Amino acid sequence: MNLEPLPAFNDNYIWMLHDGVQALVVDPGDAAPVLHALQARNLQLAAILVSHHHSDHCGGIAELKVQTGAQVYGTGGEDIVGIDHPLLGGERLQILGLEVQVLAVPGHTRAHVAFWLPLHEVAGADPVLFCGDTLFSGGCGRLFEGTPAQMYQSLQMLATLPDATRICCAHEYTLSNLRFCEAVEPDNAALKDYLQHCLGLRQSGTPTLPSTLAREKTINPYLRCQQATVRAAAQAYDPAVRTALDVFAALRRWKNEFA
Ligand SMILES: [Zn+2]
């Protein structure tokens, strides 16, 4: 199985997973980069997975369906044209001969879903999570339609997946997120190392993704709301912070106003 991020727009990635013959793509906001990649690799598009209704994630669905006949699996709780298999979370699908578990992760949007592939069918492969705009490397999605409690719970649920899970986010936001992470945890050594690593990758035009859940647990403050350092930083920003959920909500507000 090959996993590739196809760059789209300014900073989107359309993730493609393929076995050399058939492919699936996730959140195709634009059909052109997908069609180009399919042609260049001589692949057939079997399935399209859609996490939420924003146009930079679903703008390419109609054309891809016409051009390839691919089946579309996506959230059933949002207004998206072209979905063949509406999903609510909790489903187990079989796509390209692989198990795909659907997870309800509301917060960024009302009915956002994520897709976790254990990849136990592929010897030696680590699991993959396609999380749309829920979890980013060093960050999390903005709360456009959901509450802090919903997003916090969604992230807590993702954090229970195996540590080796490859985190496939839909945007290259890593460097700007890590600047915020540094403000929250200036003494986090793993964070400093990871920032240097990512600066090198971006200088050579290489994606910083996928990340791994293990890494995110060491550097991503939204997954570290119980840590004393993160809690102290959140309390310095908002003295009313008490619970881990308060920490999360304060971090999210702080990030919104962070330069
Ligand atoms: Zn979005």
pLDDT digits (tens, 9 = 90+) for 198-210: 999 999 999 999 9
Mean pLDDT computed over 75-82: 97
Q: What is the pLDDT of residue 59?
A: 98
Q: How far is the CA of 16 from the centre of ligand 1 (A)?
A: 18
For 7-26, give one letter per residue: b (16+ CB within 10 A) or e: ebeeebbbbbbbeeebbbbb
**How many Å apart are CA 250 and CA 244, to the nearest integer?**
10
Residue 35: CATH number of its domain: 3.60.15.10
Q: How far is the CA of 58 from the centre of ligand 1 (A)?
A: 10
**Residue 134 predicted with pLDDT over 90:** yes
Q: What is the pLDDT of residue 147?
A: 98
Question: Catalytic positions, please?
Answer: 52, 54, 56-57, 108, 133, 171
**How many Å apart are CA 73 and CA 53, to the nearest integer?**
12
- Summarize pLDDT for 212-254 with one digit per residue, the tens: 999 999 999 999 999 999 999 999 999 999 999 999 999 999 9
Do residues 48 and 70 lie in contact, with contact meaning Cβ atoms separated by under 8 Å?
Answer: yes
* pLDDT above 70 coverage of the chain, percent: 100
Q: Considering the chain, what is the average pLDDT of its residues?
A: 98
Task: Classify residue 173 by its DSSP letter.
Answer: -
**How many Å apart are CA 81 and CA 165, to the nearest integer?**
30
Range of the domain at 28: 2-257
What proportions of the chain, in percent to the nearest 5, are helix, strand and coil?
35, 25, 40
Q: Is residue 259 very low, low, confident or very high in pLDDT (cuts 50, 70, 90)? A: confident
Q: Is residue 70 very low, low, confident or very high in pLDDT (cuts 50, 70, 90)? A: very high
Mean pLDDT computed over 60-65: 98
- Summarize pLDDT for 140-166 with one digit per residue, the tens: 999 999 999 999 999 999 999 999 999
- Residue 188 dihedral angles phi and psi, to the nearest 5°: -80, 105
**How many Å apart are CA 146 and CA 107, to the nearest integer?**
4
Mean pLDDT computed over 254-258: 96
Q: How far is the CA of 137 from the centre of ligand 1 (A)?
A: 15
Do residues 72 and 63 lie in contact, with contact meaning Cβ atoms separated by under 8 Å?
Answer: no
Q: What is the pTM of this model?
A: 0.97
Q: How far is the CA of 198 from the centre of ligand 1 (A)?
A: 23
Q: What is the pLDDT of residue 71?
A: 98
- Summarize pLDDT for 97-119 with one digit per residue, the tens: 999 999 999 999 999 999 999 99
The structural domain count of the chain equals 1
- Secondary structure (3-state) at 97: coil
**Residue 24 predicted with pLDDT over 90:** yes
CB-based burial label for 97 (10 Å; 0-12, 13-18, 19+): exposed
The H or E element containing residue 157 is helix 148-158
